[in-house]
């Protein structure tokens, strides 16, 4: 079999370009740091205070004048008088005359008269004998030794975080360290998820002949949430009637920015999305496997309509390739693609003729220097169990007729 002529298929890039051209940016809002996790930053974060805020000690020890201890060594210790004790959080700035030192803890402000820190371990008595008089046994490496300088990480007004990034734990921590308590972020896109199929039954309910547990709405709702969207509607409709049109009406009432359908978009006799939304959506064949049948449309208010295939792997891949980039674009994300690796295939597998393949993978990490790509499923688009093991997708170009053991393939990480 040679499959469908390539000329009859739209490329992945062509379909994605159409989707992204229609994806409108959502509004931005100012929010507290507590509510910002996972959101997309809409404006750069600039430091409100220096990082560090002040010169502070990098060690537990003694703040000293370097000139006093420059020649200290075990056989010629330098004796200093401790005139102050500086715990973290102190506001003291004691004067230090020649021959004097201040006991200081990590993070404490360095006295203005000090220009180096001697760690406890470089003194004769260490912490146990750290008040009164001390004997310094080793000179610091120079002026500024063990001192963290104010502003060495960031100065007031410096751009700390660029717009367009996802705010995770590390980014929010950096902003907090710079004295920032509020940020401007993109509103989460509101999405309605609609699964179609008369055979679908809620998980856990008894199954009659021909029925299966419904899983696509869970799959797509969670993928939307992982992409920073808010799922405002999740429902299932049968293969007859006007369920998709009713779902769109309900989604619009909830001010959804996008509606994602699964199922009902192929070439069968009961393709309910095709039938109910023929005037609102265009249905195309894309040169990819899985995910060849795709539907897409834009309502007059800008709401995006996605019609994804009903098989679970097809729905997951289609979301990854088309819906996720659209949701990230709507939020102003600077990068919408996933990280890519080049890995050797642990085993061979078949590829479809004249279509780009997206194959779920697990990663063999048994040799940390040479990860390998292992198929997570037998290749069928109807196998959600294997999909649950997937950590990545192999992306195999249409011109490759087969992947053989040891071939290097593009791998898109999804976890």
Residue 7: band (very low, low, confident or very high) from pLDDT cuts 50, 70, 90: low
Per-residue pLDDT of 131-176, as tens digits, reads: 999 999 999 999 999 999 999 999 999 999 999 999 999 999 999 9
CATH of residue 22: 3.40.980.10
Residues 200 and 278 occupy one common structural domain = yes
pLDDT tens-digit series, residues 363-379: 999 999 999 999 998 76
260 and 327 together in one domain: yes
pLDDT by residue (tens digit) across 392-411?
Answer: 999 999 999 999 999 999 99
353's tokens? 């003729």
Supply the CATH number for residue 104's domain. Answer: 2.170.190.11
Which CB contacts under 8 angstroms, 24+ apart, belong to 383-391?
A: 383/312, 383/313, 384/215, 384/219, 384/312, 384/313, 386/360, 387/312, 387/313, 387/316, 387/360, 389/360, 389/362, 390/360, 390/361, 390/362, 390/414, 391/361, 391/362, 391/363, 391/415
Q: Lowest-confidence range among 47-61, 254-268, 315-329, 371-385? A: 371-385
DSSP for 334-363 reads S--SPPEEEEEESS-EE--TTSEEEEEEEE
Do 324 and 212 sit in the same domain of this protein?
Answer: yes
Q: What is the CATH number of the domain that holds 179?
A: 3.90.105.10
Mean pLDDT of 206-220: 93
Q: How long a stretch of residues is the chain? A: 415
Identify the pLDDT of residue 2: 44
pLDDT of 84: 97
Looking at the fold, whether 296 and 209 belong to one and the same domain comes out as: yes
How much is the pLDDT for 266? 82
Q: Are residues 206 and 304 in the same domain?
A: yes
Q: Is residue 99 part of a domain?
A: yes
Q: Above 60 in pLDDT, residue 3?
A: no
Domain at 353, CATH number: 2.40.340.10
Among the three residues 279, 308, 331, which one is the final residue of a domain in this structure? 331
* 178 and 205 together in one domain: no
Tokens of 389: 């093991």
- Residue 352 sits in the same domain as residue 387: yes
Is pLDDT above 50 for 91?
A: yes
Query: Where does a domain end: 278, 309, 331?
Result: 331
For residue 249, being part of any structural domain is answered with yes
State the Cα–Cα distance between residues 147 and 109, nearest whole angstrom.
9
Does 116 share its domain with 165?
no
- pLDDT tens digits along 218-233: 999 999 999 999 999 9
The tens digit of pLDDT for each residue in 105-136 reads: 999 999 999 999 999 999 999 999 999 999 99
Q: Per the domain annotation, does 4 fall within a domain?
A: no
141: domain range?
56-148
Number of domains in the chain: 4
Query: 285, 338 in Cβ contact below 8 A?
Result: no
Element holding 231 (H helix, E strand)? strand 230-237
Indicate if 162 and 300 belong to the same structural domain: no
Are residues 317 and 256 located together in one domain of the fold? yes
Mean pLDDT for the chain overall: 95
- Rg of the chain (C-alpha set): 31
Question: Domain for residue 247, yes or no?
Answer: yes
Q: What is the percent of the chain where pLDDT is above 70? A: 96
In angstroms, the first-to-last Cα distance of the chain is 35
Q: Tell whether 3 is covered by a domain.
A: no
Q: For residue 214, tell me if it sits in a domain.
A: yes
| Residue 9 token pair | 């298929």
DSSP 115: -
In angstroms, the CA 335 to CA 337 distance is: 6
Instruction: Give a yes or no: residue 370 inside a domain.
Output: yes
Sheet holding 258-262, edge to edge: 230-237, 190-196, 258-262, 304-308, 293-298, 282-285
For 266-299, how does the pLDDT look when each residue is reduced to its tens digit (9 = 90+)? 876 668 999 999 999 999 999 999 999 999 999 9
Residue 295, beta-bridge partner list: 283, 307
Evaluate whether residue 1 is within a structural domain. no
pLDDT band at residue 4 under the 50/70/90 scheme: low
Backbone angles phi and psi of 243, in degrees to 5: -55, -45
End of a domain among 148, 174, 197?
A: 148
Residues 207 and 280 in one domain: yes
* 42 shares its domain with 104: no
pLDDT, mean of residues 7-28: 95
pLDDT value of position 1: 37
Looking from the CA of 119 toward its CB, the CA atoms found within 13 Å total 9
Pairing label, strands 190-196, 258-262? parallel
Please state the pTM of the whole predicted model.
Answer: 0.91
């Amino acid at each position: 079999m040679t499959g469908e002529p390539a000329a009859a298929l739209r490329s992945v890039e062509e379909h994605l370009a159409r989707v992204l051209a229609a994806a409108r940016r959502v509004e931005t809002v100012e929010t507290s740091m507590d509510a910002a996790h996972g959101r997309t930053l809409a404006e750069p974060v600039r430091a409100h205070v220096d990082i560090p805020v002040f010169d502070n000690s990098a060690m537990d020890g003694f703040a000293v004048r370097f000139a006093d201890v420059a020649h200290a060594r075990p056989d010629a210790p330098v004796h200093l008088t401790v005139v102050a004790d500086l715990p973290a959080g102190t506001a003291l700035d004691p004067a230090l005359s020649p021959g004097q030192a201040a006991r200081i803890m990590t993070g404490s402000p360095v006295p203005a008269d000090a220009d180096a820190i001697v760690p406890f371990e470089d003194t004769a008595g260490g912490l146990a004998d750290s008040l009164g008089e001390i004997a310094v046994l080793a000179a610091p490496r120079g002026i500024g030794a063990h001192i963290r300088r104010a502003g060495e990480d960031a100065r007031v007004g410096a751009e700390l975080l660029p717009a367009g990034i996802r705010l995770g734990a590390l980014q929010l921590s950096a902003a907090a360290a710079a004295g920032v308590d509020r940020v401007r972020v993109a509103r989460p896109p509101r999405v309605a998820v609609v699964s179609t199929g008369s055979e679908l039954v809620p998980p856990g309910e008894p199954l009659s002949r021909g029925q299966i547990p419904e899983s696509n709405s869970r799959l797509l709702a969670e993928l939307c949430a992982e992409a920073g969207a808010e799922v405002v509607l999740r429902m299932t409709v049968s293969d007859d009637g006007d369920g998709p049109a009713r779902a769109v009406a309900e989604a619009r009432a909830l001010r959804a920015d996008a509606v994602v359908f699964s199922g009902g978009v192929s070439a069968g006799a009961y393709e309910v999305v095709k039938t109910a939304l023929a005037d609102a959506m265009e249905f195309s064949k894309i040169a990819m496997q899985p995910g060849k049948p795709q539907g897409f449309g834009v309502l007059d208010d800008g709401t995006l309509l996605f019609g994804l295939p009903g098989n679970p792997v097809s729905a997951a891949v289609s979301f990854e390739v088309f819906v996720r980039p659209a949701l990230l674009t709507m939020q102003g994300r600077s990068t919408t693609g996933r990280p890519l690796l080049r890995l050797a295939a642990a085993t061979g597998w078949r590829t479809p003729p004249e279509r780009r393949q997206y194959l779920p993978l697990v990663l063999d990490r048994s040799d940390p220097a040479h990860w390998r790509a292992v198929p997570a499923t037998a290749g069928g688009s109807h196998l959600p169990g294997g999909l649950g093991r997937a950590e990545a997708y192999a992306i195999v170009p249409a011109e490759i007729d087969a992947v053989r053991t040891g071939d290097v393939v593009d791998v898109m990480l999804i976890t």
